[in-house]
Amino acid sequence: MSLPNALDTLSRILQRKRSRGEETIAVSAQALQQLSQLPFALNRASAPAPAPAPAPAPAPAQPAAPAPTPSPAPPAAPIEPTPAPAPAPVVVAPPVATTQPEPAPPSPEPVSQPAQPAIALDNPYGELATAVEQRGRVLVIHPAGDSVRDRLNNLFRITKQDDITRSMATLHDTMVFAAGDPTSDIMFIGTGPGAEEEQQKKPFVGPSGQKLDGILKAMGLAREKVYLTNLLKYRPRIGDGRHQMDKNRLPTPEEVAVSLKIVRSEIEVIKPKLIVALGKTAAEGLIEQSSSVNSLRGQTFQLDGIPVIVTYHPSHLVKLDTEPDKEYARQEKRKVWEDMLRAMEMLGLPISEKQRGFFS
């Protein structure tokens, strides 16, 4: 999360505490260590950029030499001093073809985020993490551990202890972390847990989960052999949550922002060969592009060097079961299956003629 967002979140927390009549707030050792770095972060953010070096003054014009003949020469045009040009960007010219021109390289795949150097930060998580870094606008935690499962277990502990996420009064208290095989080549990322997921503390176990299980089976994959997770680890509240029952809502941008560091750290631990973003909210959070799922389908984005593709959330398929226009429902389901065939091709999985013939 960026520094302005972090300060805004902290301000909201303090205002909420004060509105409840609390004049003091308990701060953990980890949070205190993070706050101690705030002055340095503010200094870095407010440091003025170095002033550009002054341009050299133009050389004075030299007087014209007298004419060798007695007839007077016409006066030379006055030489205007040339202003110093502004520094121009360095442009690398393409090589000049000597014989036949080289074929144009293929257009690169769309990249979701520009490559930015990571900034190492102080580690407030003690022995649970080996390093913390800032990648663009997102914090990435490197959990400690000798194996993927060890690092994932430590990330689970870090998530449970995270003060900023737990301070969000708009989120429920039951954490739903992830499920499946952490060594899998494919990672499915949805939006957040619903009522059924909150009860069982597992992602994708409700009606949407049943649809996803059917998709995986059609791909020849078992639920236990893929990795399933969500952007949010806590279910968003409706009102105070007491009378929410089984109703769910989409997360706010603020809720997504405070949750991104966990899922990005999760990706860093799993290091899958392919990420499938399920739905608009998951796609926007991961690739930082606001667009419809239909316009993002068929493209390959990059997130920390890992390809990301976008398809509809399984909840969309659940709604299609009651769609009166059966042909429209069939075409929408076909889109999801086309995306899954593309995922199988990218992973090098075998595809039978029967699988290719679905919806044909």
For the segment 124-135, what is each residue's pLDDT rounded down to a tens digit? Answer: 999 999 999 999
Supply 33's token pair.
């260590």
For the segment 198-215, what is each residue's pLDDT rounded down to a tens digit? Answer: 999 999 999 999 999 999
Q: Are 296 and 313 contacting, i.e. CB atoms less than 8 angstroms apart?
A: no
Q: DSSP H helical segments within the chain, as ranges?
A: 3-19, 29-36, 38-46, 148-161, 163-166, 195-200, 207-219, 253-270, 280-287, 293-296, 314-320, 326-347, 353-356
The pairing of strands 234-236 and 301-303 is unpaired
pLDDT range class, residue 294, cuts 50, 70, 90? very high
What's the mean per-residue pLDDT of the chain? 80
For the segment 310-322, what is each residue's pLDDT rounded down to a tens digit? Answer: 999 999 999 999 9
CATH of domain 174-356: 3.40.470.10
Residue 311's H or E segment, with its range, is strand 306-311
3-state secondary structure of 179: strand
For the segment 82-125, what is each residue's pLDDT rounded down to a tens digit? Answer: 444 444 343 333 333 333 444 444 444 454 455 566 788 889 99
pTM (2 decimals)?
A: 0.70
pLDDT greater at residue 290 or residue 27: 290
Residues in the chain: 360
Query: In the prediction, which pLDDT does 12 show?
Result: 59
Contacts of 244 (CB under 8 A, 6+ apart): 195, 237, 238
In the chain, where the domains are located: 174-356
pLDDT greater at residue 60 or residue 195: 195
Percentage, residues of the chain above pLDDT 70: 68
Query: In the prediction, which pLDDT does 51 show?
Result: 46
Q: Check pLDDT > 80 for residue 308.
A: yes
